[in-house]
Amino acid sequence: MSMEKQFENIGDGLLVRAPAKINLSLLVAGKRPDGYHELETIMAKINWYDEILIEPGSEKGIELICKGPYDVPEGEDNLVYKTAKLILETGYQGNRESGKQGTGVRITLTKNIPAGTGLGSGSSDAAGTLMGINRFLKLGLSQKKLGRLAAQLGSDVAFFLGGPMSFCTGKGEKVQKLPKSEFRVFLVVPDVSVSTKRVYENYRHDTAKYEQFNRAISGYIKKKRIDLVCELCANMLQESCFELNTKLREMKKGIERTGIGPVCLSGSGSSMYCVIDKGNEEKIVTYQNKLARKFSCKSMILNSNSW
C-alpha cells in the first residue's frame, strides 16, 4: 500500500486522508478519580486511510455522505458530523456576532478502516475533519485551538493532529511527539468488533507488571530505541480483551505458530500486528490466504506513516 499525501485538492474540494494507528505499547498506570484509566502509550500512524472529501455545500449547514466497505452512523450521530458542527460553530462565531451567515459544507466520508478494531479510525476521522475544514474554509484556527476542540471530541483525537509517532498519557489526550521511526508491520484485522468500554470494565490492574513495563519503556524512549519497545509487545489491555473474545486469543497463538514473530494487540483490540523485516514478507504472503480461510480476517503489510 503506497504512502499518500495528507491533503489533496480535487476539483473545488479538499481530500483529507485519515490514517489508522497502532499502539506500539499500552500501559495502564491505574484508575483516575474521574473513573477513567491513566494510560501511557506509544501510538504510531500507519499508511491505511479513511478518506474525507470536503466540498462547498449546496445549502447552509452540513451534508454528510458515507461510503465504503464499512457501515458507520449517518447524520448527527456520526463523529465526523459532530466534528464539523463544532468547528463551524467555533470558526464562524465572529460572523454570527456580526450577523453574517457561515458557509455550508458537503462531506463525503469513505470508510476503509473498520471501527472497534483498535486502529483509532473514528478519532483520526475527527482530527482529519478539524484540519480539513480549517484549511478548506480558511478559518485560521491555531493548532492550539484545534487541540482544545479535539479534547472535546475524544481522547485519541489530539494525537492525530500531529504525529506520526507520539507518547500519549492521561486518557491519551496528553501528547509528546517522538522522533520519527520507520517500521513495517503485518496487520491482521479480524471480523470482530471489540467494545472498548467492556474491555476497560473487565480490566484488572497488575501494579507489578505496570512497573516492570514502565521502567523498560522509559529507558528505551530515552535511548530512542522504539524498536526495543516493539519487541516487548506490552499491552496491558490484552488479557481483558482475550477474556471477552476467546477467538482472538486462538488467532494470536495461530499466527505466532507460523514463526512470523511476536503478535501484538493494538489498543483494546481486535486488530493485531507483527513488526516485520523484508525477509519475512514472502512467508507472510504465503500465509495470508490460509489465515483468511481459517479465521475470517483481513490482513495486509503496511508501513509507518511519514506524517
Looking at the DSSP bridge assignments, the partners of residue 204 are none
Distances (CA, A) of 208 to 27, 37, 52, 220: 12, 17, 43, 19
Amino acid at position 6, single letter: Q
Give the chain's count of helices (H) and strands (E): 11, 11
Exposed (0-12), middle (13-18) or buried (19+): which is 151, by Cβ within 10 Å? middle
Calculated CA dihedral for residues 24, 285, 300, 199, nearest 10 degrees:
-50
The cell for 301 is 503489510
In whole angstroms, give the CA distance from residue 52 to residue 109: 5
Q: CA-based angle 192:159:121, to the nearest 5?
A: 25
User: What pairing do the DSSP bridges indicate for beta strands 184-190 and 62-67?
Assistant: unpaired
In whole angstroms, give the CA distance from residue 132 to residue 9: 11
In whole angstroms, give the CA distance from residue 293 to residue 291: 6
Distances (CA, A) of 32 to 28, 29, 236: 11, 9, 16
In whole angstroms, give the CA distance from residue 80 to residue 122: 8
In whole angstroms, give the CA distance from residue 216 to residue 151: 29
Distances (CA, A) of 191 to 1, 49, 109: 21, 18, 21
Give the active site residues: 21, 156
In whole angstroms, give the CA distance from residue 198 to residue 63: 33
In whole angstroms, give the CA distance from residue 176 to residue 162: 10
